[in-house]
Amino acid sequence: MKKRVLVILFFALFGNSISVMAQVEPEDIAMASDEYQDSFYESLKQKGIENYDKAIVSLEKCIKLKPNDAVAYFELGKNYLALKQYPSAQNAFEKATQLDPKNKWYWLGIYDVSFETKNYPLAIETIQKIIVFDEEYKDDLISIYMITNQYDKALIAINEMNDKFGKSSDREIYKNQILSQGKYQNAEIDNLIDLIKKNPKEESNYVNLIFLYSKAEETDKALDVAKQLAKELPNSEWGQVSLFKGYLETNQADKAIKSMNVILSSSKIDIKIKHRTLNEFLIYVNKNPQYAPDLEKAIAYFDNEKDVDVAKEIGKFYHSKNQYENAIKYYEKDLKTNSDTDRETNMLLMDAYAQAKQFEQLTKRAMYMIEVYPSQPQFYYYAGLGSNELQQFKNAKTVLEMGLDYVVDDKKLEANFNIQLAETYNGLGDAKKKEMYLQKANELLKQKK
């Protein structure tokens, strides 16, 4: 809520009062004027040090001397408001508006009272009177419409203000809130179509209309608007966002890739939209692997992106699809581009190595990570698993027995260590220890259940 500071040019108003009195000023009026001045100045002094009760006493003297002085009533209202004596404040402000109905600050006094007391019908009524003097106060009216869930009226007022003064961040937030409720979207679609007809070169109206059609799953209409945008503004980067999706859906891969590269290289388009674009292309490439080289090139746009490790996320995507070779490629790319010792990425990579039966790479990576994180048991486990598969049983025995000491409150991992140790001793020809570790593993798995 954009609350205005109640400022009044007292000296100008007060000076005008003196000049009027000077036209008919006998001695008794001069004395009264001096007394009025003293009382008024005293009220300002007391208000300044937050002695509102004393300020009110002084202002009541002023009103007794000049019963029709709007300034004194306005000041009286401000002091009552500071004391949260809302009925008295409202009465004083209303008296000021009766004496001088063309002063917007007096109406704003009533508005302040109505807002603080949550008397929203009065607030709406008062702001509508203030708008006559200053139309920008319609933003306050919009805020109250939002508070009172009068979204139809708010949307109309938002569009009027946007049309006259241009968009504002607050209005856009309110508008998005309204449009999140489907029943208002048709009205906004009609409004955007009308705005595009009036000004076919305003890009934002096309973008908003595309968004609404996409949200309503009216893809054909969204694509039509995107094509219209591309026609009116051939260099529009935003137009490519919807064109890209349309090209993918109609299997026009070359055009989709061209649009995607425009989107990813744009400084105007939000990073979240870029991520979504890349994700949609990733899903497409999963079904059409011949375009994998284009995916590689697209990832390069995110090399300096700090918030999201794009290569890692693509690796996770392929991992979830059991495409371990592809997952490995992107995990390795992420480690090369970012931190080579990132624990999560290394853990994912080692799991992918194991699933893809790349045991030499698994063992080498796990032994490297043991040096970096000597108390991380998972790395010992993967080193032992890889060594067993490579029939390097002595190395497996060493790392598994060391790593087992670091396992705490993880029955599943402890069981897996014992299973690998059983494999190790089987390879070393020690059947007794093999059975011992298998028995331990079974007991741990039963405990886990």
| SS3 track for 40-81 | HHHHHHHHHCCCHHHHHHHHHHHHHHCCCCHHHHHHHHHHHH
Query: Among 46, 76, 34, which Cα is nearest to 59's?
Result: 76
Query: Among 319, 272, 277, which Cα is nearest to 294's?
Result: 277
Whether 358-449 and 1-100 are alike in CATH topology: the answer is: yes
- What is each CA distance from 243 to 3, 153, 155, 162, in whole angstroms? 43, 34, 29, 27
Please, what's the largest Cα pairwise distance for the chain? Answer: 125
Residue with tokens 């109406």: 107
| CATH number of 358-449, picked from 1.10.1740.10, 2.60.120.260, 1.25.40.10, 3.40.30.10 | 1.25.40.10
* pLDDT value for 449: 54
Residue 122 contacts residue 114 (beta carbons within 8 Å)? yes
Give the pLDDT band of residue 3 (cuts 50, 70, 90). Answer: very low
DSSP tag of 269: S
Residues 6+ apart with CB under 8 A from 50: 82
Q: Does the structure show a pLDDT above 90 at 359?
A: yes
Q: Does the structure show a pLDDT above 90 at 80?
A: yes
Residue 420 contacts residue 384 (beta carbons within 8 Å)? yes
DSSP tag of 234: T
Share of the chain above pLDDT 70, in %: 92
Domain boundaries, the chain: 1-100, 358-449
CA 259 to chain centre: 26
The pTM of the whole model exceeds 0.85: no
Beta-carbon count within 10 A of 223 CB: 20
Query: Among 99, 250, 273, 312, which Cα is nearest to 260's?
Result: 273
* pLDDT value for 77: 94
376-412 tens-digit pLDDT: 999 999 999 999 999 999 999 999 999 999 998 888 9
Residues 6+ apart with CB under 8 A from 60: 76
90-148 tens-digit pLDDT: 999 999 999 999 999 999 999 999 999 999 999 999 999 999 988 989 999 999 999 99
Beta-carbon count within 10 A of 271 CB: 12
Residue 257 contacts residue 250 (beta carbons within 8 Å)? no
Q: Which of 69-83, 95-109, 113-127, 269-283 has the lowest mean pLDDT?
A: 269-283
Share of the chain above pLDDT 90, in %: 53
How far apart (Å, rounded) are the C-alpha atoms in residues 146 and 378?
54
In the chain, how many H helices and how many E strands? 25, 0
* pLDDT value for 119: 94
The CATH code belonging to domain 1-100 is: 1.25.40.10
Average pLDDT over the chain reads 86
Taking only Cα atoms into account, the Rg of the chain, rounded to an integer number of angstroms, comes to: 37
Q: Does the structure show a pLDDT above 50 at 4?
A: no
Residue with tokens 């299997």: 251
Q: Where are the beta strands (DSSP E) in 135-197?
A: none
Q: Does the structure show a pLDDT above 90 at 25?
A: no
How far apart (Å, rounded) are the C-alpha atoms in residues 413 and 400?
11
As given in the structure block, the two tokens for residue 99 are 């004496």
Average pLDDT over residues 356-375: 95
As given in the structure block, the two tokens for residue 191 are 């409004």
Q: Does the structure show a pLDDT above 70 at 427?
A: yes
Q: How far apart are the first and last CA of the chain?
A: 56
Q: Angle formed by the axes of helices 271-287 and 310-320, to 10°?
A: 30
Residue with tokens 């497409």: 284
Residue 337 contacts residue 366 (beta carbons within 8 Å)? no
As given in the structure block, the two tokens for residue 338 are 């970012």
